[in-house]
């Protein structure tokens, strides 16, 4: 049966660089008594090393509501008020988290995407992904993550843009790369004329690292859309609240 599922390969994979970590919260009155169809959902179930736990109302009933607060929740309420109300009314949730035992391929991500899609079809209404600061509706999850039937790394990470003290400059930074066991990306003090080039660079790095590439310390940046002489340096730790991950700092030569 395993061989019949298409593998999600990591063609650039090299050992080292960090271990992937997944964390998803699935809301809804989920009835998962129906068997998981491996072919329909392209999933072998919960990957080895990952744990799927149920919370509320009889087991830690405070957990479901604990994610319904703070800045991200307020943004979710503003953008999808009806779905937020539905989530707020849920007295139970499932949490899928942990480090997969095998990550030389992205099969652990394939299995996870398919499993969560199955849970949504069994009564789930929304998915919270704190690693990339994202609430997913069931429809958006299926459209962007399941329907492509491929890893689509750029859909699992997000490029955020924050203001700098100098209003003419921006800070570009990602979240979500910990799912691949790779560092997130930070580029500070970006002037307007280089914004498109930095977005292109971030997307290239997301793809390369998700598929296993390890960016070496001091890697030079060679792109026509960016000034020459820039380098990449590693920094941070897993407890850094900006990323919940280590990161690479892109130092522009400007």
**Tell me, what's the pLDDT at 88?**
96
Q: Which helix (H) or strand (E) holds 88?
A: helix 81-88
From 106, 131, 151, the end of a domain falls on: 151
**Same domain flag for 195 and 83:** no
The pLDDT of 118-123, averaged and rounded, is: 97
Euclidean distance between CA atoms 120 and 133, whole angstroms: 19
> Measuring CA to CA, which residue among 108, 72, 95, 96 is closest to residue 181?
108
**Same domain flag for 128 and 40:** yes
Neighbours of 17 (CB within 10 A): 16
**Same domain flag for 218 and 127:** no
Q: Are 151 and 208 in contact (CB under 8 A)?
A: no
Q: Is 55 helix (H, G, I), strand (E, B) or coil?
A: strand
pLDDT per residue over 7-33, tens digit each?
999 999 999 889 999 999 999 999 878
pLDDT per residue over 43-101, tens digit each?
999 999 999 999 989 899 999 999 999 999 999 999 999 999 999 999 999 999 999 99
Measured CA angle at 245 (ends 240, 248), to 5 deg: 95
Neighbours of 193 (CB within 10 A): 10
Q: Give the structural domain span for 197.
A: 155-251
User: What's the mean pLDDT when you consider all of the chain?
Assistant: 95
**Same domain flag for 147 and 230:** no
CA atoms within 13 A on the CB side of 73: 11
**Tell me, what's the pLDDT at 254?**
80
> Measuring CA to CA, which residue among 23, 5, 33 is closest to residue 121?
33
**Same domain flag for 125 and 165:** no
Number of domains observed in the structure of the chain: 2
**Same domain flag for 65 and 93:** yes
Euclidean distance between CA atoms 1 and 100, whole angstroms: 20
Euclidean distance between CA atoms 246 and 185, whole angstroms: 9
From 151, 170, 200, the end of a domain falls on: 151
**Tell me, what's the pLDDT at 102?**
97
Q: Which pairs from 170-173 meet CB under 8 Å and 24+ separation?
A: 170/195, 172/198, 172/199, 172/202, 173/242, 173/243, 173/247
**Same domain flag for 166 and 118:** no
From 151, 172, 189, the end of a domain falls on: 151
Q: Is 108 helix (H, G, I), strand (E, B) or coil?
A: helix
**Same domain flag for 7 and 108:** yes
Query: Residue-wise over 88-124: b if at least 16 C-beta within 10 A, else e?
Result: eebebbbbbebbbeebebbbbbbbbbbbbbbbbbbeb
The pLDDT of 228-243, averaged and rounded, is: 95
Measured CA angle at 201 (ends 196, 207), to 5 deg: 130
**Same domain flag for 147 and 159:** no
């Amino acid at each position: 049966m395993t061989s019949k599922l298409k593998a999600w390969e990591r063609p650039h994979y090299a050992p080292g660089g960090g271990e992937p970590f997944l964390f998803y919260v699935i809301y809804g009155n989920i009835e998962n008594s129906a068997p998981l169809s491996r072919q329909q959902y392209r999933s072998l179930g919960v990957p080895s090393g990952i744990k799927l736990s149920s919370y509320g109302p009889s087991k830690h009933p405070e957990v479901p509501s604990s994610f319904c607060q703070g800045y991200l929740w307020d943004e979710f309420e503003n953008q999808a008020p009806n779905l937020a109300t539905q989530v707020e009314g849920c007295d139970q949730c499932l949490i899928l988290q942990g480090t997969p035992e095998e990550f030389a391929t992205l099969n652990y991500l394939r299995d996870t995407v398919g499993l969560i899609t199955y849970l949504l079809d069994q009564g789930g209404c929304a998915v919270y992904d704190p690693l990339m600061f994202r609430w997913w509706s069931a429809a958006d999850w299926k459209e962007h993550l399941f329907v492509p039937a491929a890893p689509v790394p750029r859909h699992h990470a997000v490029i955020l843009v924050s203001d700098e003290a100098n209003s003419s400059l921006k800070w570009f930074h990602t979240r979500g790369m910990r799912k691949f066991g790779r560092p997130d990306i930070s580029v500070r003090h970006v002037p307007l004329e280089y914004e498109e080039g930095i977005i292109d660079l971030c997307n290239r790095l997301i793809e390369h690292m998700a598929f296993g590439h390890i960016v070496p310390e001091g890697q030079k940046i060679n792109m026509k859309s960016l000034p020459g002489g820039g380098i990449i340096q590693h920094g941070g730790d897993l407890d850094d609240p900006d990323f919940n991950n280590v990161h690479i700092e892109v130092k522009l030569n400007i």
